[in-house]
């Protein structure tokens, strides 16, 4: 077995040091890329969740009844749901249903037009303030259709990602809206 000379032993140490330095540089360059990928993945997940939550609320609003039928005398009678509360875990009575209201319900937590969900989209509560564990705030509005089209309502749902933390004593505010969906609902004739 050949014996390494002192000159050769020193060059092996230099080569090893250079290899470690190169590995460290590659790792340092890769870390920001990996962090960016993790952040992008979290953003995509949040956007997917907000879109699903907004679409779900619009479907619930579209499912509420609004139709015209004839009474016993043959006269048309409008029947519109103005009592369903969609802000509860299970839709119940005592809410606004399809009663038109201004679009301010999309900007503030208005009873009957807001609910709070956890990071998995599970219902946590409703009312003017977000309960502990809130990750998403869902607001909606029912409004008369633009241009006063008779027999059409405009439905809107907006979902915000809630700030996960805030300094003590400072109320938490929603971050930028990630999803805002709108739809129209027309009156049926039966």
Query: In terms of residue numbers, what domain contains 154?
Result: 45-189
Residue 116 located in a structural domain: yes
What residues pair up with 180 in beta bridges, in sequence order?
158
Q: Report yes or no on 8 lying in a domain.
A: no
At 177, is the pLDDT very low, low, confident or very high (cuts 50, 70, 90)?
low
What are 67-121's pLDDT values in tens digits?
888 889 989 888 899 999 999 999 999 999 999 888 899 999 999 999 999 999 9
- Domains identified in the chain, total number: 1
Kindly state whether residue 32 falls inside one of the protein's structural domains: no
> Does residue 78 lie in a domain region?
yes
**Can you tell me the distance from the alpha carbon of 118 to that of 122, in angstroms, rounded to the nearest whole number?**
5
The Cβ of residue 24 has, within 10 Å, a number of other Cβ atoms equal to 10
DSSP 104: G
Read off φ and ψ for residue 50, nearest 5 degrees: -65, -40
The reply to whether 117 falls in a domain is yes
Q: Which helix (H) or strand (E) holds 136?
A: strand 136-144
d(CA 186, CA 67): 9
């Amino acid at each position: 077995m050949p014996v390494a000379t002192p000159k050769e032993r020193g060059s092996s140490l230099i080569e090893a040091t250079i290899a470690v330095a190169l590995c460290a540089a590659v790792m340092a360059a890769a870390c920001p890329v990996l962090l960016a990928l993790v952040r992008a993945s979290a953003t995509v997940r949040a956007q997917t969740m907000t879109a699903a939550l907004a679409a779900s609320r619009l479907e619930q609003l579209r499912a509420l009844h609004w139709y015209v039928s004839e009474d016993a005398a043959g006269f048309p009678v409008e029947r519109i749901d103005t009592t369903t509360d969609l802000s509860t875990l299970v839709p119940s009575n005592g809410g606004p249903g399809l009663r038109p209201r201004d679009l301010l319900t999309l900007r503030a937590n208005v009873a009957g037009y807001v609910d709070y969900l956890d990071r998995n989209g599970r219902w946590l509560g409703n009312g003017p303030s977000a309960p502990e564990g809130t990750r998403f705030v869902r607001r909606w509005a029912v409004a008369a259709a633009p241009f006063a089209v008779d027999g059409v309502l405009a439905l809107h749902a907006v979902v915000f990602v809630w700030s996960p933390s805030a300094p003590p004593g400072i109320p938490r505010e929603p971050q930028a809206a990630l999803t805002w969906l709108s739809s129209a609902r027309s009156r049926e004739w039966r």
